[in-house]
A and B are shown apart, each in its own frame.
Chain A
Amino acid sequence: MSSDPSKLAFHDGWQYAPAPESTDHVSIDEQYELFIGGDFSKPEEERYFDTINPATEERLSSVALAGSADVDRAVKAARKAYSGAWSKMKAAERGKYIFRIARILQERAREFSVLESLDGGKPIRESRDIDIPLAAAHFFYYAGWADKLEYAFPGRTPKSLGVAGQVIPWNFPLLMASWKIAPALACGNTVVLKPAETTPLTAMRLAEVIREADLPPGVVNIITGAGETGAAIVNHEDVDKVAFTGSTDVGRIIQRSLAGTGKRYTLELGGKAANIIFADAAIDQAVEGIVNGIFFNQGHVCCAGSRLLVQESVAEEVIAKLKDRMETLIVGDPLDKNTDIGAINSAEQLDTIRSYLSIGREEGAEMYQSSCKVPETGYWCRPTIFTGVSQSNRIVQEEIFGPVLAIQTFRTLEEGLTKANNTPYGLSGGVWTDKGAKIFKMTQSIRAGVVWANTFNKFDPTSPFGGYKESGVGREGGLHGLDAYVTLES
């Protein structure tokens, strides 16, 4: 128990009984093949790689490693489906197939949630309440657009592009697959999708769903592999459009490699969002927003509020309350419904995060971590904050992609805004104040694609998402998400 009577002692006094989600109803195959042309087939070179559970470090399954011959096969299947059944089909019928996918995802939501948490390490509460329902909703939203596209582009006639090559990250595996596949199909394109190396399992299960929905063979092809497989998709000459979500460094490589090819592309890249707390904000709510901003999904979020800018007069109070709140966060078994922060996605990512923890300390910042216990095996990082940082520190400038928050203070609105915008990124931002005019001043002036005011990390299929500056090109979601998958004719 805490000796300070003004504080609630959460850590020792309050114990939660474990409430693990059962995994009985989820079967995982020994090995997964490539989903090409409506069938599962072995990779040409018959190479496979393991996917593990980052919470236990145990192997879950093996998945196929697609080589360039397999990529070629997948693109050919997508091309054949595009020139064949898919582009000849009535748009309304196309939409009905997408609706089917949405429905089956809803029906099998629990299975998908458990699998997502097993393979990626995210808390079951998040996969259950956010990832999987949003993925289904995304298919629902875009299904309805299939036969209404002419209303989305006044004065122009939208036409499909052809074959879309899509490469997605490991932080929201199924959700990112839905963000990519749903609008592509609604606009009449066919797809070759590669899930991330560390999180292939829900994508392979989505392949089963697509078969169950009886989509014409080749309309969606899902192939697994690492960076080389992704590069082979991006650089395949019969791909008409590339959609990538991942780091800015890889985004740059992709933009370069697409130069001169005439291929269309959308890039959803890194971020270093400022979450700005004014003295007149509802402080307790703001603290919840800070926690949600940086600790949601272990901080593996491109739009995470990884820079806290707090007005000087309330900095002490906000940081004290934040530390108290951090003490209550439960780090551990992703399948436990009590868990707030799950496993770091991979050993590699944990190394990256740890190197930034060292960099932060070496640069002279003060590190604070909550005192919670973490399991012995698996990849874990306690919620972490740095104070005493300056604008030029690497932990302020660079994306860490972990539960690590850099805290700075400001005095005037202008100073806060200048610091917020002093970054090459521009994906998201947050502002907390009770004053309406100040909200609009800030949300208008933050140079970022998504701005949350008095909330943070909210997502919806109807709401466009994407960055300014080096955070990417194009938008996904909503009406604006259609642009990426059509060409406009007069």
Chain B
Amino acid sequence: MAGSSSRVPVAKTYKIYIDGKFPRTESGRYFPLENSAGNVIANMCMGSRKDFRNSVVAARKAFPGWSSASAYLRGQIIYRIAEMLEGRSDQFVAELVLQGQSKRRAKKEVEATIDRLIYYAGWSDKYQQIFSAVNPVSSSHFNFSVLEATGVVSVLAPNDSSLLGLVSNVIPAIVGGNTCVVLASEKMPLCAVSFAEVLHASDVPGGVVNILTGYREELIGQFASHMDVNAVVFCDGDAEVARDIQERAADNIKRVIARVDADWAKEDSQNPYLIKETQETKTTWHPIGS
């Protein structure tokens, strides 16, 4: 086929996303991602524990700014993510197909992902009003409770729902002002990296979302145990995995959010209670007097 008119296609190098930059893993390791025919699609970064720690530092650094950004701005930025994804939907469909999904299903998943982004963009300046309270205390005080982001959230994204599942777990955390470190689906990691490029083009500040690819078995312990992570979200694994994550999380009383068996394609899997799961309630008192 190699004639003078044919052009050699340029393949993409899939990288990881830390602190708003696209490095390859510091470890220099990779794992080949193969299609069903056994051909190599890409050499994925085999993210290391050091990559994870660097990501947590970036996420912690980004937290004060992102959590104090206005709800309106966070909503605007998440809406922007949806716009960017819409514009690149063909690329995401192609990647899903490349990883073995049918074209029909792939298209449906990308569309559902865009709609999910719109859904949570709209919640940014509303969930607070649903879940806050002015408390009628008996003493002469003004007392109110509001939600605040819990901090840095580590997310073990679903293995089987590589785009929609990742977005369904990351966005509720960041719409509420958290920053996060995400481990992409090990089976189908391509869309996670391309989604990082979408985030990068959407005014999401560097460090708010950090995305790693790699082996779950190697990284899961760090995701659960790191002392500067405030909450861990996981979506896969048997009882043994769940036990391991929860045990490690206890080191710093991490919030453990188990979303195993969720069907992310169902409309019911989106709701503001997912936002609330990575929020803290703060209650403030002030005397009323002269």
Which residues in A have some Cβ–Cβ distance to B below 8 Å? 137, 154-156, 248, 251-253, 255-256, 258-260, 267, 269, 424, 439, 443-444, 448-455, 458, 460, 462-466, 468-473, 475, 478-480, 488, 490
Check B252 against A470 for contact (C-beta < 8 Å).
yes
Check A260 against B246 for contact (C-beta < 8 Å).
yes
Chain B interface residue bracket vs A: 35 or more
Check A458 against B247 for contact (C-beta < 8 Å).
no
State whether A260 and B243 are in contact (beta carbons under 8 Å apart), knowing that A460-B135, A460-B137 are contacts in the complex: yes
Cβ-closest chain B residue relative to A480? B281
B250 within 8 A of A: yes
Check A450 against B283 for contact (C-beta < 8 Å).
yes
Chain A min CB distance to B56 (Å): 15
| 8 sampled A-B residue pairs with Cβ under 8 A | A255-B246, A258-B246, A259-B242, A259-B243, A260-B240, A462-B137, A469-B151, A472-B253
Check A478 against B253 for contact (C-beta < 8 Å).
no
Check A453 against B286 for contact (C-beta < 8 Å).
yes
Q: How far is it, in angstroms, between the C-alpha of A248 and the C-alpha of B254 when the chains are bound?
A: 12
Contact of B253 among A248, A258, A259 (CB under 8 A): A248
6 A-B pairs with the lowest CB-CB distances in the bound complex, closest first = A260-B243, A259-B246, A255-B250, A460-B137, A259-B247, A462-B135
Give the chain B neighbours of A480 by CB distance below 8 A.
133, 145, 281
Give the chain A neighbours of B39 by CB distance below 8 A.
none
Give the chain B neighbours of A443 by CB distance below 8 A.
282, 284
B55 within 8 A of A: no
Instruction: Annotate B246-273 by CB proximity to A: 1 below 8 A, 0 otherwise.
Output: 1101111101000000000000100111
Chain A min CB distance to B201 (Å): 31
Chain A min CB distance to B132 (Å): 10
B36 within 8 A of A: no
Query: Which secondary structure dominates where chain B touches chain A?
Result: mixed
Instruction: Please give 18 more A-B residue pairs, beta carbons under 8 A apart, in addition to A255-B250, A454-B286, A454-B287.
Output: A156-B273, A252-B253, A253-B250, A258-B246, A260-B244, A260-B247, A449-B283, A451-B284, A452-B285, A458-B139, A462-B136, A462-B137, A465-B283, A468-B282, A472-B253, A488-B273, A490-B268, A490-B271
Give the chain B neighbours of A269 by CB distance below 8 A.
253
Contact of B281 among A452, A455, A466 (CB under 8 A): A466
Give the chain A neighbours of B138 by CB distance below 8 A.
137, 460
Give the chain A neighbours of B245 by CB distance below 8 A.
259
Contact of A251 among B151, B247, B253 (CB under 8 A): B253
Check B286 against A439 for contact (C-beta < 8 Å).
yes
Chain A min CB distance to B86 (Å): 27
Check B253 against A463 for contact (C-beta < 8 Å).
no
Chain A min CB distance to B228 (Å): 10
Give the chain A neighbours of B287 by CB distance below 8 A.
454-455
Chain A min CB distance to B238 (Å): 10
Give the chain B neighbours of A260 by CB distance below 8 A.
239-240, 242-244, 246-247
Chain B min CB distance to A385 (Å): 24
B130 within 8 A of A: yes
State whether A448 and B145 are in contact (beta carbons under 8 Å apart), knowing that A255-B246, A258-B246, A458-B139 are contacts in the complex: no
Give the chain A neighbours of B284 by CB distance below 8 A.
443, 450-453
Check B281 against A252 for contact (C-beta < 8 Å).
no
Check B283 against A451 for contact (C-beta < 8 Å).
yes
Q: Which of B188-224 contact A (CB under 8 A)?
A: none
Instruction: Annotate B142-168 by CB proximity to A: 1 below 8 A, 0 otherwise.
Output: 010100101100000000000000000
Cβ-closest chain B residue relative to A453? B286
Contact of A259 among B137, B151, B250 (CB under 8 A): B250
Which residues in B have some Cβ–Cβ distance to A below 8 Å? 68, 130, 133, 135-139, 141, 143, 145, 148, 150-151, 230, 239-240, 242-247, 249-253, 255, 268, 271-273, 280-287
Q: How far is it, in angstroms, between the C-alpha of A258 and the C-alpha of B136 when the chains are bound?
A: 35
Check B285 against A453 for contact (C-beta < 8 Å).
yes
Check A463 against B283 for contact (C-beta < 8 Å).
yes
Most B CB within 10 A of own CB, among A260, A443, A453, A479: A260
Give the chain B neighbours of A473 by CB distance below 8 A.
253, 255
Chain B min CB distance to A460 (Å): 4
Check B239 against A449 for contact (C-beta < 8 Å).
no
Q: How far is it, in angstroms, between the C-alpha of A268 and the C-alpha of B245 when the chains are bound?
A: 21
Give the chain A neighbours of B252 by CB distance below 8 A.
424, 469-470
Check B150 against A468 for contact (C-beta < 8 Å).
yes
Check A256 against B247 for contact (C-beta < 8 Å).
yes
Cβ-closest chain A residue relative to B250? A255
Give the chain A neighbours of B246 by CB distance below 8 A.
255-256, 258-260
Q: How far is it, in angstroms, between the C-alpha of A258 and the C-alpha of B253 when the chains are bound?
A: 12
Q: How far is it, in angstroms, between the C-alpha of A248 and the C-alpha of B148 when the chains are bound?
A: 22
State whether A255 and B137 are in contact (beta carbons under 8 Å apart), knowing that A450-B285, A473-B255, A488-B273 are contacts in the complex: no
Chain A min CB distance to B221 (Å): 13
Give the chain B neighbours of A469 by CB distance below 8 A.
151, 230, 252-253
Cβ-closest chain A residue relative to B251? A252
Give the chain A neighbours of B141 by CB distance below 8 A.
455, 458
Q: How far is it, in angstroms, between the C-alpha of A471 and the C-alpha of B255 when the chains are bound?
A: 11
Cβ-closest chain A residue relative to B282? A449
Give the chain A neighbours of B271 by CB distance below 8 A.
155-156, 490
Cβ-closest chain A residue relative to B146? A444
State whether A255 and B249 are in contact (beta carbons under 8 Å apart), knowing that A463-B283, A480-B145, A480-B281 are contacts in the complex: yes
Give the chain B neighbours of A478 by CB distance below 8 A.
133, 135, 145, 283
Give the chain A neighbours of B230 by CB distance below 8 A.
469
Q: How far is it, in angstroms, between the C-alpha of A462 and the C-alpha of B282 when the chains are bound?
A: 13
Chain B min CB distance to A321 (Å): 20
Give the chain A neighbours of B273 by CB distance below 8 A.
156, 488
Q: How far is it, in angstroms, between the C-alpha of A463 and the C-alpha of B271 when the chains are bound?
A: 25
State whether A455 and B285 are in contact (beta carbons under 8 Å apart), knowing that A252-B253, A255-B250 are contacts in the complex: yes
Check A449 against B280 for contact (C-beta < 8 Å).
yes
Chain A min CB distance to B117 (Å): 20
Give the chain A neighbours of B143 by CB distance below 8 A.
460, 462-463
State whether A448 and B282 are in contact (beta carbons under 8 Å apart), knowing that A468-B150, A473-B255 are contacts in the complex: yes
Give the chain A neighbours of B283 by CB distance below 8 A.
449-451, 463-465, 478
Most A CB within 10 A of own CB, among B130, B151, B249, B253: B253
Check B145 against A463 for contact (C-beta < 8 Å).
yes
